[in-house]
Amino acid sequence: MLIGYDPYSGTMQHFDTKGIIQEVARCGYDAINLPMRPDFVDAENEEPLQSLEGMLRDAGLKTPSIGIAPHIWTTPGQEEETQRHLDIAVQMAKRFGAQLLTMWPNLPEGVNKEDGLKTFAENMKAGVPKADAAGYPIAFEFEKGCTIDNYREAVEFIQSTDPRIRIVADTYHINNDQADPYEAAIAMKGLLGEIHISGSDRGEPGSDTDEFDYDAFVRGVKEIGFDGPVMLQYKLEDPASIGRACEFTRKLFDL
């Protein structure tokens, strides 16, 4: 099991790409997620990709997952562009030794859930076989108010679309669903691709304001035998929390 950091909201306001890679390594993480965002790396430009390779090599960090962007998998009329970005993600995965492609099926403004879900299913049916042939599963997040609202809908979507699809389970989203953390973990047996650890208020996990029952969730995760990447993904306000969050998560999983 790898403990990694995802350069989520607030991170790039405190660090540039080199700075966050160095800080993540210094704080004792095993890995970092590579998001296809221009503020982190231009995935279509060779020079920054070469620079990123050198930074990661110097830091000794693994890169278990590629975060696909932009978030257009649920936007009708963007199917061709969606598949183009998937192709880029596959090439990045090959280049950086990733094992998983992750994405967020948001609900675009002006698109109803039924249309968003239909578009998402069509894009997955086109993209999953292509990614699978290259050796990479695609995993998606669920989130209240989005195209896939909760873990139950996530499981149903996989059952009706393609059994090769995987789930990214974020503790923040489980908390917002008011779901039982243990039961949620058990229900995703065999379907989990990645875990995101975040406080119940989207802040630092394990902080005084965090109310999520991590112990129950981790008990379920261990019971289902998950050994994939565990990424810290939360709204960064205090840069010093990067180290605290790593220590907190290692203790949770007894690592």
pLDDT in tens, 34-73: 999 999 999 999 999 999 999 999 999 999 999 999 999 9
The model's confidence at residue 252, banded by pLDDT at 50, 70 and 90, is very high
Give the model's pLDDT for residue 155. Answer: 98
Strand, helix or coil at 40?
Answer: coil
Which letter does DSSP use for residue 203 in this model? S
Q: How far apart are CA 200 and CA 208, in angstroms?
A: 11
Distance from the Cα of residue 40 to its chain's centroid: 15
Write the pLDDT tens digit of every residue in 12-39: 999 999 999 999 999 999 999 999 999 9
Q: In angstroms, how far apart are the furthest CA atoms of the chain?
A: 46
What is the amino acid identity at position 75? T
What is the amino acid identity at position 58? D
For the chain, the average pLDDT equals 97
195 DSSP β-pair partners = 169, 230
Give the model's pLDDT for residue 114. Answer: 97
Q: How far apart are CA 164 and CA 11, in angstroms?
A: 32
Dihedral sign computed on CA atoms, order 121, 1, 9, 7: negative
Give the model's pLDDT for residue 50. Answer: 97
Residue with tokens 């699978």: 132
CATH classification at residue 37: 3.20.20.150
Number of domains in the chain: 1
Residue 98 and residue 130 in contact, taking contact as beta carbons nearer than 8 Å = no
Q: How far apart are CA 41 and CA 224, in angstroms?
A: 35
Boundaries of domain holding 68: 3-252
Report whether pLDDT(255) > 70. no
Write the pLDDT tens digit of every residue in 214-239: 999 999 999 999 999 999 999 999 99
pTM: 0.96
Write the pLDDT tens digit of every residue in 99-156: 999 999 999 999 999 999 999 999 999 999 999 999 999 999 999 999 999 999 999 9
Report the pLDDT averaged over residues 157-170.
98
The model's confidence at residue 188, banded by pLDDT at 50, 70 and 90, is very high
